[in-house]
Every structure is written in C-alpha cells, then in structure tokens.
Structure 1
C-alpha cells in the first residue's frame, strides 16, 4: 500500500481544521461575500481583501495555548509551500491573547506563511475569537471550516 504525501497532508489538514474550535456568534454564512479587511503583516507591509480578490485565501487564527493550532500550523505551512505557486494565499493571525510578536519571532522565522500582527475591518473581531481557520474562495465568497456553516464576524 502506497501513501502519497498529498493524501497525508490533505487528511491531516482536514483533521486539524475539524478539531479547531469556532467562535460562538456568527452572521456570515457560506456563500456570502467575505467582509473587507486589512492586515498588517509582521514585516510592516499591509495587504487588504481587495488585494487578494480572485485568489484562494486561508486565514488561520491561532494561539500559542491552542493544542490543535500547534498541529495545524505546520500542516498549513507545508501545504502552502506546495501550493503557493498555484496562487494559494495563507495568513497566520495570532489571537490577541497570544504572546507578543517579539516572542513569536522564532515561529514566524520558521514559517513560509506570512504572519499578521494586526487585522482591521469588520473581520477584526476574528483576531479576538477562539482559534479557527476560514477560507475565501476566488469570487470573495466566505467559506468556513467544513464542519461549520457560519463565520465569526
């Protein structure tokens, strides 16, 4: 029996996403337009949802205290390294109760995924919610973790 690395990564990613807790209140449903946002990355550059229009985007809201996050982040990073040349965009956004950015530098240095230190807009509350992973389809449709039908706002 042979096992492909793509299959292993896809299975592990699905498991990690399914295990990630979600925010309790939500108003944006799968298929709705994703809310506009702007992120300030660790390097100081800024990127907005408008800049990402037409691309597949994964926003991973994680925390240092989150066990599933510790498993999920390296999987997302590996998947990003494999698919970034195909236009996949993945961003790691630390929740506000994680460690300060300077203490996370070793983690950020090991990741190919760009890390955000701040997010503004209607989606800014995402950074205050429990860790979760959400995605945005190329047409800017909100898609949530497959096990859930809504997005935090």
Structure 2
C-alpha cells in the first residue's frame, strides 16, 4: 500500500513540476517582425467616398446638406475586394441609397449648431444602413458638412 502511495505522490509531483516548469523552458514572447506589427495596427482601412449632397425638407424651409464621407473597412481581404472600381462604385451607391433614405424618412437628422454631434449621429446612421449590405464596413467619418438653408414657398 505504501508503494502505491509513493508512486502516486511521485506522479502528482512530476505532473506539477512539469506544469509549472514549462514556463521556464518556453520563451515568453515569440519574435515579432516589423511587418507583422504593422499589419496588426492596420485593421481598419480608410476608403474615401467623396462628397454627397442631400436635400432635407422641413416645414417652412429646405436644407441642402453636402457631406464629405470616408468609410473604414475591416480587414485587408475585404478592403482588397471592395477597393476595385466595381466594389467602390457599389459601396458609393450603397452610401447614396443610405443617405437618400435618411433624407426622405428624416430619421433624427436635426440641424444644430453643434456640428460635431451632428457629424457623429449622421455617420452612425449611415454605417448602420451600409452594414446591411457591406458587413466589412465598421465605421465612417464625416470630414466636412456644408449646409445651405432656403425658405420654402
């Protein structure tokens, strides 16, 4: 009986020594090349789409809004797929459709004096609409907004 207990204690001791001793035998970090580090930082790829103009009709006035839009695509493979002429045209058409739907339904587009809040809100709404057809689009940035108000007759 004592022999079985000694053998069991030796097996448990060697198992624990191997489990905890492994960290001393293995290197703590794998060597990272500069190219791998650069790829890790470039998860989102910027794709400028250009200027879009939409017309918002409100009671008593018409607002013509021009926005300059950039979208950010997740992953190099998805960016390479969309970055061609055909993919960029499809993405631009999707953005036009999203902006047109926002302008016609008037979903929360409020013209305020706080331009940063309006940019953030509008870009979030555009991304939500684009994500349905382009799941690789993660975020968008509105670079500039130009508004011109005219009185409705």
Higher radius of gyration, 1 or 2: 2
Q: TM-score, normalised by structure 1?
A: 0.24
Higher relative contact order (CA 8 A, sep 6+): 1
Greater helix fraction, Structure 1 or Structure 2: 2
TM-score of the two chains, using structure 2 as the length reference: 0.24
